[in-house]
Amino acid sequence: MSLLEKTFDRTLDAWTHAYMAPAWRGAVVEGWLFEGVEARRAAQARLAQAGVTARFRSAYKPLVHFFLEEVDRDGLVSARVRYPLHEHAQAKRFTLEAYPLIALLPDVQVDLQAGAADLHYDVTLTYADGRQIDTRVFAPNVVGAAQDGTPELSPTGWLRVRDAEGAVQTDGAQSTEYQQVFRSIVDTVRNHPWGAHEPYFDRLEIRVDLPGMDFALPVDEEIVSTFEALHEDVYFTLLEHFQHHSGRPSGDRGLQPGQIIPDIRRHDGAARVQISLEPFAPVAPLAPALPDAPLAQRRDPLAAAEIAGCVAALGGDAFQAVSRQGRPVLGTYVRGPGPAVFISGAQHANETSGVVGALRAAQALAERGDAHFALIASENPDGYALFNRLREHHPRHMLHASRYSALGDDIAYREHAPFFERDGRHQAHAISGAQLHINLHGYPAHEWTRPLSGYLPRNFELWTIPKGFFLVLRHHPGWGERARKLIEGVTTRLAHNVPGLVQFNARQLELFHAHALETGFDVMNGIPVQITETDREELPLALISEFPDETVYGDRFIFAHTVQMETVLAATDLYRSGL
């Protein structure tokens, strides 16, 4: 069922066409929009041929693009940046928008200072030869409103035109095709009659083809992508709409709207958007197959068939749940002496290093001969299938639409039967009697933004930039002392057993502190930790690992799943030896 098919003119082409007219010869055109540098420079060149001086800049992360495109960095010694403060933005909003500037300028003293509210960065550049340059970098933004009416300050297109006599003809916000596409999607969904009962659909397919930028920065795993940003903003904005529609609070993870799938692709022309409601497709039977090489050498996420093959090879007593779309949630229980642990991965299916880490740990434990554990290496197979589909076009994106289940909820927060995937957990707990759940997770390996909804990802502001590998330990009342001993022991062993982990964390934490204006979690043995007493978890102890793995490959992926494996082994040994 089609809900929308619409085309939007490319803003850069429209501006170029408008100001190539002879009447504008001698004019000066400045524009900010969501396009890559090559397209912007090509448009500038076309206007120059018509006698118009044009400068098109990025409305997305304007300070970073200023340093990439306009600053002479040879001999640059220091950069003092006074960033905007605004009543409708968090204090760290513009220091995060400036991320990862400090790492982009490794030999430059960068000083970030709070400034005024006029939406400019005031920049002072000092060079080795004594030169000092003062300039202002415009950060075009407009105030809008979130689903609940909260004011949001968001980047926007902007056009500033002076005619040949120097008179200002235009100076104001412009809605680019990037913004128009987003608004058309949100308005279409908000205006559709969804009914009163969850889920509201099987699949909400949103296909967008539009211009933009997608490039890697020479800083760790950082990329700048307007396509990824639109995917994230569409997905979470629609989740917020359905939370509101169902009467739930913002951020409620029990919501079951159905599967929301933004498929955002590059197209160098007019923007196109198509929205449709689709049924779930039939699921092909799974044929287990072992990987070609040892898991310790694995450089990319496993296929579902490989996960099945690895689980089967462990032996033990197999158990199984079934996902909403009909995929198997495969588990095994390996009997042994002493207390059991429950090991799981990919509750959030775009967090894939934990799958390999869980399987590697299970293999190592089984080889010892006295293992006692229940394992579900991939808890969310529907999300995992969507992750692999979307990864074909954008392999490095975080792809949060694949985070939750095909029902649209977080399986750990599922509220009622049918439990589908969560039934796997219920079986694991009942079979094993485990009181420790080692739950392997990940988070974005590069900056996470929602540029058209206030820039920072609402309800996830703490996760917007990487801060190394860290651990979260949740425990029931009365388990606090055992929880403290467990996390002290695990961090000690990880710091000793994983070469480079403490240094990796230190590098990411230093950059996090500089741009996020906060310290984040407590640090124990070089590893950030958070300990929380709660009765939300089903088992008395829940150790949650968080590696920035969305979405990494190669040596970084190997490092990620090695850290995950060592976390399981350390926690299992400590727990089984008695806390």
Give per-residue pLDDT as tens, 107-165: 999 999 999 999 999 999 999 999 999 999 999 999 999 888 899 999 999 999 999 99
Look at residue 485 and tell me whether its pLDDT is greater than 90. yes
Mean pLDDT of 35-53: 98
The CA-CA-CA angle for residues 349, 352, 356, to 5°, reads 130
Please tell me the predicted confidence (pLDDT) of residue 106.
Answer: 95
Q: What is the pTM of this model?
A: 0.97
Average pLDDT, the chain: 97
String of DSSP letters for 472-487: EEEE-TT-HHHHHHHH
Q: Is the pLDDT of residue 518 over 90?
A: no
Q: What is the pLDDT of residue 525?
A: 97
Q: 254: which residues sit within 8 A by CB, 6+ positions away? A: 248, 409, 410, 413, 414, 415
pLDDT attached to residue 462: 86
| pLDDT score recorded for residue 121 | 98
Q: How far is CA 405 from CA 199, 376, 411, 419, in A?
A: 12, 16, 7, 11
pLDDT for 520? 72
Give the confidence band of 517 by pLDDT, cuts at 50, 70, 90: confident
What phi and psi values does residue 66 have, to the nearest 5 degrees? -60, -45
Structure tokens at 421: 């995937």
Residues 494-519 have a mean pLDDT of 95
* Domain chopping of the chain, boundaries: 10-175, 179-278, 295-576
Q: What is the pLDDT of residues 358-371, one digit of tens each?
A: 999 999 999 998 89
Query: For 192-225, how does the pLDDT look when each residue is reduced to its tens digit (9 = 90+)?
Result: 999 999 999 999 999 999 999 999 999 999 999 9
Q: Is the pLDDT of residue 349 over 90?
A: yes
CA distance 372 to 576: 9
- 295-576: CATH class: alpha beta
